[in-house]
Structure 1
Amino acid sequence: MARDLASKTFWRPTGAAMLLGMAGGLAWLLASGRLQPGLASGVAALAVVTVGVFGLQQRRALRAARRERAEQAEKLRALNLLDAISNSTPDIIFTEDLQGRFTFVNQATCRALGQPAAAVLGREAGAFFSNPDRARIAALNAAVIESGGIVASEGEMTTALGRRWYLCTLGPLREPDGRLSGVFGVVHDITERRRQQEHQRQWAQAFESTRDGVIICDARAHIESVNRAFTEITGYTPDDAIGHTPALLHSGRHDAAFYRELWAGVARSGHWRGEIWNRRKDGEIYPEWLTISAVRDEAGVVTNYVGVFTDITRVKRDEAELQRLANYDPLTELPNRRLLHTRLEHALARAARRGGRLALFYIDLDGFKTVNDSLGHPAGDELLIGITRRFQDRVRAGDTLGRPGGDEFLVIAELLHGPQDAAVLAQDLLAAVARPLALAGGQEVYVTASIGISIFPDDGCSDATAMLRDADAALYRAKEQGRNGFCFFTHELNRQAVAKLETEVALRHALQRGELLLHYQPKVCAASGRIVGAEALLRWQRGDELVPPGRFIPIAEQSSLILDIGAWVIDEACAQQARWQALGLAMPRIAVNVAARQFAAGNLDTVVDEALRRHGVAASSLELEVTESMLVDTPAAGIDMLGRLKETGVRLSLDDFGTGYSSLAYLRQFPIDALKIDKSFVDQIDAGPQGSAIVDAVIALAHRLGLTVVAEGVETAAQQAYLRRQGCDELQGFHLARPMPAHAFEALWAGGEVAVG
């Protein structure tokens, strides 16, 4: 029996009593006793107290006990199942008593609290949290106990897993008799869901607030959603668009092949982007920049198409405006230099294919600067617009009229029979300019034009650049011939143009290499022969050749190079004075010629002042000679510049007086110190009284104005004697002394005088 008891023992979990039986026995025994701890696996051992034989009543009790045992086993299995479920779910599951102490926790609860179950059970839940989370937990428990019902709450809490979002559902625990015995809780981590919701909220906000139109279609390209910008751009509301296809927006500008290629691109690469023209609800056709993207699920199946587009109406308008500004003159709205060059290239190509002729007219207005400077830029602009309209009336429909800049115009004339047709058109253009033009201010202005003409293929040019160069050379010759005329390009002009270009390049190098130098021609007192000054004259030492100024100064004056050369001459004259001063030589005043472009640049006074300061020489040691012609066109501006130069302290003289047709009224306003009689008048002295009359008048006028008179170009003793008798103050010319290097001028100065006849 002891063996059977050890191997076949059954007991109630309460340990109050135990039913025993012997397998294969003929009698039933009833034993009662108490449980003792087992020695292995925690199995209970039984200490038997009484054993007896029982009958029918006892057998009934035995069957009832068996049923109870089976029920208890089923409950145990259920509890084990519930335990397995609670520990396999990621949700936090727990129970508490009415004092808020944990009575049950699953593994998820332990992970969230960062503690094992043994450290959690029996402790208040609030002990594992800090405020405000502790207060929130207490409030939820109180709400369940007070209401006796389910309470749900969503919020953030800090656990061992960090700051997380949770959905908490708490409810009452009741005894079989209905009494409230505690609280149960199920807590679901919704952090990821909240992140997704926030992402969706942000996306929805961006979807609605973006300035780009957005359209979302299903896999069959039916519109599912549109944003506010879609409606603002197209005029279609969501109700108008949803359920339709994007064909709702088609403008008709694109054919079916365009859309087939579009969708083929989406199918190939998953997206398409480009410019497309669509139609608004009100019928207006507009351009947009569209990007279409395919949206695929995890299996790679297309679920949606998203189109994002921008209305580029303003961009296209701005592009058109930029294109216009890049290719058209804003004042006259004629093609500018850039577009003219392109059109000339195209015209040359057409003429070459047809075997025909093409003429290019390079037109420059004569006298425009006078109008612009005297009446102001608005008047100059009005003149240009008026001349443009006249030219437009004269050129043929197929010809191109353009304005490359300033007061220049170009005409490209195709389908000409020969030079005679070009001459007829040139005469028409000259006549159009020559008529008086009335301005809005009531003034009537007169200008003329000079025209240079190049003809393809007669002149041998093969491209637009060469043709423009040839026409420009012809224009230069037309101006030299007296203006208000036209000139055809010749190969001799081409030779001269090439030589001019080569000289200009070499001259620029000469300035950089220090090949320029100054020679000095003395000025002497007419009465005593004493040297009173010198004029600095530019020379170019080109290798072994000393290039005279007549061969390069006119070329420099036609370009901005004259500004650099002019500044160098002023600086070198001041530097030479400084060198002489360093040697202890009290040299006389040095005169420097000023070029027209240099005078008109507007900063001559600054150039002079900086040179004087740089070399530390007195302003009284420098004299500037300006020509009368510089002051004729813009006397007011000339007076202003002369005044600024006078403030630097330099001496000013008016060169070539009598050749510029300046007003004597203005002459009184010029702050000058001397007048120089031009050589052309000095040459007439030998012709007798009539020839010398102008010289006499200039001397008398200058003295009446308190000015010194200087006669230049004195080449004979008779001229020298006459000028001295008439009271001319200073003389200059080959008869007295030729221009010489600085060291020779030093030696001459040391002699003190130049012979006076």
Structure 2
Amino acid sequence: MTFDVQARSFLSTSLAPRRLPGRRLQAATAGLSWQFLRRHSRWSIYALLLLVIGASIALSVVMESTVGDIRHRTEQFAANNAPDGASLEDNSVGAQMMDAANDVVRITRLVHLFDLLAVLTAGFMIYHIRARLRTESQLAHQADHDPLTGLAHRRSFERRLRQLPAHAHTVVLGTIDRFERVVGGFGHAFGDRMMQDVAERIRVCAESFGAEVYRLDGANIAILFRTAQSHPSFEEALNALQMQMRTPFISERHEVVSSLSLGYAEYPRHGAEAARLLKNADAALQAARQSGGDALVGYSEDLNAQADLRLDLEAHLRHAVERGELELHYQPQQSLSSNRLVGFEALVRWRRNGELIPPDKFIPLAEETGLIIGIGEWILYEACLQGQLWKRITGNDLTMAVNISPRQFNHPGFFDMVQRALSDTGIAPHNLELEITEGVMMDNVQRSIELLCKLRGLGLKLSIDDFGTGYSSLAYLKRFPITKLKIDQSFIRELRPQSEDAAIVQAVIGLGHNLGVEVIAEGVETPEQREWLRQWSCDEVQGYLYGRPRPANATPQELFALAA
């Protein structure tokens, strides 16, 4: 074998085995698939990246060692096989071998460069895969969660409910009481902040009892307990939730105290299917809301019948005005100092199929559904027309008091509607008195003051209805341009001297007179109650002692003689 052939054979056998590690590394790097990385945690991906970098460094060390070994063996081989007396540089074959060795060095450096590029490519790929994983995770979270509160939403709740194993669990539906009035009074931004705060309170409290919280829509939430309602922790959890809501929410110098109405149904006792369970829990929630809010009601069989009755009432109430089914009854109000008739309060009644439906059965329903706007306008017009009619017939200057509902008072067109009623009916403004509850005024104090001042500017009388049952601040009370305080009948019903009710009544009378306004007591039924109120300098009274509410055509004519 010639020297040239021997040299080529030597180079071939020396270099061939060393090429494989670089190729295997590149193949391994290229084989990192999206599916593989997606199934592994971030720490697995970081470990894989470190492994690739470590393998590249190890390969570089091996290749450098191999290059040095090849150069040394090449020089020895050329020196041992060169003609006598010839230097390595003078030997053409030796020179070729040295060139080949230098080529190996250049190839090795290229391999290093490719390895470096492979590492950078792997790092770049892993970075973007992690970014994509994060994006997918965020999109998945957004698809299943409410963006405002971060709670899982309705679809997540319904899906979770269907996936629950067949053992006892309880579905609780809740709503934040008066939330719409808060939003109407303070704006949507304030309402959003309040919703975020309330949702966080509920979430932390519920999760401490192992429950899951979902936001369904608006002010409605769902809580899923994996225990039966009879479990001790269930009652404890709901009590804790209600206590959380009693902490005031404060933002931008506004303070709002809200409450939570809750209704619940238990699987499988109240429904073996998700749809039935939700329907029954909702029936319980509606019962809690109808009771005045801040209540907890469990499902029972009669609730569905009540819900069906409400739906029937709502359907017929929508057409009650146009069908002429609503009518006003009038209850007299009398001055204690002169015993003269001073006015009437107009009270709405609904006569359906010849039967009178009590106001507490349909007024809350009208308020909830918004029907109170149209009904309230009808009441105001009818009361003004009747007041004008009585004034023309009798010549008496009587006051007509009309109750204004919360939804009416907060309606943007309320002031304009009152102006139209005065203009269309011709009633003198000082003969019309609007009764508004203190709770409504306190929902948005600044707006209430501005609206009341505009109404007072028309010449109307303004009364705070059911005074003492709400939470009005005395600091704000003096800023309201009111003309009368109306003591709630709950303080009059069991009125006795030296009782707590007596102390409250005397305090309200003194407060009203110090503010320069009149005071009227409602619910007076006995002569003794009348005399005590007279002794305490109450200005006016109203109640069964003087007459029950009656239609205009049934009002005794002798009453008007008392006004003369």
User: 3-state SS of the aligned residue for 2:319?
Assistant: helix
Structure-1 residue corresponding to 2:214? 402
- 1:698 maps to 2:515: no
Q: Retained in 1: the 8 A contact 2:341–2:560?
A: no
Residues 423 and 587 (structure 1), Cα distance of their counterparts in 2 relative to 1, 3 Å cut: same
Residues 433 and 732 (structure 1), Cα distance of their counterparts in 2 relative to 1, 3 Å cut: closer
In 2: Cα distance, 1:613 partner to 1:662 partner: 32
Residue 356 of structure 2 aligns with an amino acid whose one-letter code is L
Query: Which stretch of the first structure deviates more once superposed, 579-588 or 630-639?
Result: 579-588
Deviations 1:600-619 (A, max 9, x none): 33432222112222223322
User: 3-state SS of the aligned residue for 2:262?
Assistant: strand
Q: Retained in 2: the 8 A contact 1:602–1:641?
A: no
Q: Retained in 2: the 8 A contact 1:358–1:455?
A: yes
Q: Retained in 1: the 8 A contact 2:242–2:294?
A: no
Alignment of 1:48-63 (within 5 A): none
Structure-2 residue corresponding to 1:592? 402
- For 2:173, which of 338, 343, 362 is the aligned residue? 362
Identical residues among aligned pairs (%):
37
Residue 332 of structure 1 aligns with an amino acid whose one-letter code is T
- 1:457 maps to 2:268: yes
Q: Retained in 1: the 8 A contact 2:177–2:293?
A: yes
Alignment of 1:258-657 (within 5 A): 329-337=146-154, 339=155, 343-344=157-158, 346-347=159-160, 349-350=162-163, 355-365=166-176, 378=189, 380-389=191-200, 391-392=202-203, 394-395=206-207, 401-412=213-224, 420=231, 423=234, 426-427=237-238, 430=241, 433=244, 449-460=260-271, 462=273, 464=275, 466-478=276-288, 486-580=296-390, 586=396, 588-657=398-467
Q: Retained in 1: the 8 A contact 2:343–2:400?
A: yes
User: 3-state SS of the aligned residue for 2:348?
Assistant: strand
The Cα of 1:634 is off from its aligned counterpart by: 3.1
Residues 470 and 380 (structure 1), Cα distance of their counterparts in 2 relative to 1, 3 Å cut: same
CA RMSD across the alignment: 4.3
Gaps of 5+ in 2: 1-32, 36-123, 126-134
Q: Retained in 2: the 8 A contact 1:363–1:452?
A: yes
The Cα of 1:751 is off from its aligned counterpart by: 2.5
Structure-1 residue corresponding to 2:544? 734
In 2: Cα distance, 1:688 partner to 1:439 partner: 39
Residues 370 and 719 (structure 1), Cα distance of their counterparts in 2 relative to 1, 3 Å cut: same
In 2: Cα distance, 1:689 partner to 1:412 partner: 47
Larger RCO: 1 or 2 (CA < 8 Å, sep 6+): 2
In 2: Cα distance, 1:562 partner to 1:730 partner: 29
Deviations 1:195-225 (A, max 9, x none): xxxxxxxxxxxxxxxxxxxxxxxxxxxxxxx
In 1: Cα distance, 2:246 partner to 2:514 partner: 42
- 1:715 maps to 2:525: yes
Structure-2 residue corresponding to 1:668? 478
The Cα of 1:713 is off from its aligned counterpart by: 1.3
The Cα of 1:591 is off from its aligned counterpart by: 0.4
Deviations 1:48-68 (A, max 9, x none): xxxxxxxxxxxxxxxxxxxxx
Residue 638 of structure 1 aligns with an amino acid whose one-letter code is S
In 1: Cα distance, 2:321 partner to 2:463 partner: 27
Deviations 1:100-122 (A, max 9, x none): xxxxxxxxxxxxxxxxxxxxxxx
The Cα of 1:517 is off from its aligned counterpart by: 0.4
Residues 494 and 429 (structure 1), Cα distance of their counterparts in 2 relative to 1, 3 Å cut: farther
In 2: Cα distance, 1:444 partner to 1:574 partner: 37
Tell me the TM-score normalised to structure 1 length.
0.50
The Cα of 1:536 is off from its aligned counterpart by: 0.2
Alignment of 1:154-233 (within 5 A): none
User: 3-state SS of the aligned residue for 1:714?
Assistant: coil
The Cα of 1:544 is off from its aligned counterpart by: 1.9
User: 3-state SS of the aligned residue for 2:550?
Assistant: coil
Residues 441 and 517 (structure 1), Cα distance of their counterparts in 2 relative to 1, 3 Å cut: closer
Deviations 1:60-109 (A, max 9, x none): xxxxxxxxxxxxxxxxxxxxxxxxxxxxxxxxxxxxxxxxxxxxxxxxxx
User: 3-state SS of the aligned residue for 1:686?
Assistant: coil
Structure-2 residue corresponding to 1:206? none
The Cα of 1:429 is off from its aligned counterpart by: 6.8
User: 3-state SS of the aligned residue for 2:318?
Assistant: helix
Deviations 1:435-491 (A, max 9, x none): 969989899987664432222332137453x54443233335556789767442222
- 1:744 maps to 2:554: yes
User: 3-state SS of the aligned residue for 2:400?
Assistant: strand
Q: Retained in 2: the 8 A contact 1:605–1:648?
A: no
User: 3-state SS of the aligned residue for 2:339?
Assistant: coil
Residue 423 of structure 1 aligns with an amino acid whose one-letter code is F
Residues 587 and 571 (structure 1), Cα distance of their counterparts in 2 relative to 1, 3 Å cut: same
In 1: Cα distance, 2:185 partner to 2:425 partner: 38
The Cα of 1:671 is off from its aligned counterpart by: 0.4
In 1: Cα distance, 2:152 partner to 2:271 partner: 25
User: 3-state SS of the aligned residue for 1:683?
Assistant: coil
The Cα of 1:688 is off from its aligned counterpart by: 4.3
Residues 726 and 382 (structure 1), Cα distance of their counterparts in 2 relative to 1, 3 Å cut: closer
User: 3-state SS of the aligned residue for 2:305?
Assistant: helix
In 1: Cα distance, 2:241 partner to 2:515 partner: 43
Residue 331 of structure 1 aligns with an amino acid whose one-letter code is L
Q: Retained in 2: the 8 A contact 1:348–1:358?
A: no
User: 3-state SS of the aligned residue for 1:513?
Assistant: coil
Larger radius of gyration: 1
Residue 149 of structure 2 aligns with an amino acid whose one-letter code is T
User: 3-state SS of the aligned residue for 1:592?
Assistant: strand
Residue 410 of structure 1 aligns with an amino acid whose one-letter code is A
Q: Retained in 1: the 8 A contact 2:520–2:540?
A: yes
User: 3-state SS of the aligned residue for 1:666?
Assistant: helix
Residues 450 and 725 (structure 1), Cα distance of their counterparts in 2 relative to 1, 3 Å cut: closer
Residue 740 of structure 1 aligns with an amino acid whose one-letter code is R
Aligned positions, number: 434
Q: Retained in 2: the 8 A contact 1:391–1:432?
A: no
